[in-house]
Amino acid sequence: MNLQLNGLVAVVTGGSRGIGLAICKALAAEGADVAVLYASNAEKAEAAAAACAACGVRAKAYPCRVENSTEAAQTVKDILADFGRIDILVNNAGITRDKLVNGMRDADFDDVIDVNLRGAFHMLRAVYPLMAKQRSGRILNISSVAGLSGNAGQTNYAASKAGLIGMTKSAARELAARGVTCNAIAPGFIATDMTEKFAQDEKTLAAIPVRRMGTPDEVAALAAYLCSPHAAYITGEVIRIDGGMMM
């Protein structure tokens, strides 16, 4: 399917590795120009931008701590200056600080909420008036099945991902009449650096009906569709991609 992304500009937070990198490349492969946002690893982000540019599109890496509202707003301004418009926002940046509740420090909770939830809000707020004015746009938040079911040792992470779902539905209601959609993807166990310790765990794999972990490319294919004109009638949805784990 031709997703008709030629000439559109996509912003992907946490775009230098894992699911974010796969989404950047999938969007670029469909013709979108890509702004790759990253927190710390400039080398990986530049490599991600180069991989996107190899698809024949414009691509550039931008350092941005999305949890900092000033930085997020300024980065959006910089992207506008470089690309001229923003059509797609993918809020993918995320961290974990896993601990049981009785051992979780304030900083463990605050850091995860700041990056995963507050950071997504900062980016949403920055692009909101642009998309509302142009009467078109796609916002995609990368949540998690942990935000739907909870997970022992991840009170902070699950809370941040559940918060993203509420934010998705609220923004979808606000922006629907302006031609802007807002959806969320809730991945299960996807083979990335963050889930490496679970890759060979028999208990984890037994809990997944398809008996394997998903791949970043599988998530990226769904993300690219939801960011395309073909998905104009889908908004406020949370779509699981978890091998049947939550059915």
The catalytic site residues sit at 157
Q: How far apart are the first and last CA of the chain?
A: 28
**Exposure string over 9-41, b if 16+ CB within 10 A, otherwise e:** bbbbbbbbbbbbbbbbbbbbbbbbbbbbbbbee
189/201 Cα distance (integer angstroms): 11
Q: Which two tokens stand for residue 148?
A: 């739907």
How do beta strands 137-142 and 180-187 pair?
parallel
Length of the chain: 247
What Rg, from alpha-carbon coordinates, does the chain have?
17
Helices within the chain (DSSP H only): 18-29, 42-53, 69-83, 106-113, 119-134, 146-149, 155-175, 202-206, 216-226
Report the alpha-carbon angle 203-162-14, nearest 5.
Answer: 85
Q: Looking at the DSSP assignment, which residues form a beta bridge with residue 99?
A: 154
